């Protein structure tokens, strides 16, 4: 997905439209070939299968961001998404405002998810609103 060594990607939000925009930015015109649920990370999307992510499930055909977004939105409302812990900046934190459930699209260190550089993860995350 990236063509440099240290990408940082971390966007949170609520609306399906913003999720579609975030996925479009993350994939930069590339397609999504496969996916895998990792309970601690969320739904992981891969731009291609490799020897280290061969246990991922392949989509019937590669999908662009606009095509995969409705699948991700549906996943966010399902049982698997409810298993993903919302901790740290994703938590339902007590503060002087309101919290609502949303999502986060992200990579980890060096732009990887579990060692894969061609991956992006999506997880439920609370959105914080102050006074």
Q: Please give the full DSSP string across 38-104, using - where no structure is assigned.
A: ETTTEEEEESS--TTSTTSEEEEEEE-HHHHHHHHHHHHTSHHHHHS---GGGS---SSSEEEEEEE
Among residues 112, 94, 91, the alpha carbon closest in space to that of 102 is found at 91
Residue that is written with structure tokens 């895998």 in the block: 36
As a whole number of Å, the CA-based R_g of the chain is 14
Question: N- to C-terminal Cα distance for the chain?
Answer: 38
Q: Where are the domains of the chain?
A: 10-129
Calpha distance 51→65 (Å, rounded): 24
pTM of the model: 0.92
Whether the pLDDT of residue 6 is over 90: the answer is no
- pLDDT over 70 percentage in the chain: 95
Model confidence at 101: pLDDT above 70: yes
Query: pLDDT tens across 38-64, in order?
Result: 999 999 999 988 877 889 999 999 999
The per-residue pLDDT for 70 is 97
């Amino acid at each position: 997905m990236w063509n440099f060594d240290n990408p940082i990607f971390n966007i949170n939000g609520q609306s399906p439209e913003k999720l579609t925009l975030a996925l479009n930015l993350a994939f930069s015109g590339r397609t999504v070939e496969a996916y895998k649920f990792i309970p601690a990370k969320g739904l992981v999307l891969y731009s291609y299968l490799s020897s280290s992510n061969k246990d991922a499930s392949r989509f019937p055909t590669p999908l662009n961001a606009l095509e995969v977004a409705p699948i991700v939105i549906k996943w966010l409302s399902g049982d698997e998404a409810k298993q993903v812990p919302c901790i740290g900046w994703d938590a339902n934190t007590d503060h002087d405002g309101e919290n609502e459930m949303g999502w986060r699209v992200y990579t980890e260190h060096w732009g990887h998810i579990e060692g894969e550089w061609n991956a992006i993860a999506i997880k439920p995350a609370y959105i914080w609103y102050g006074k």
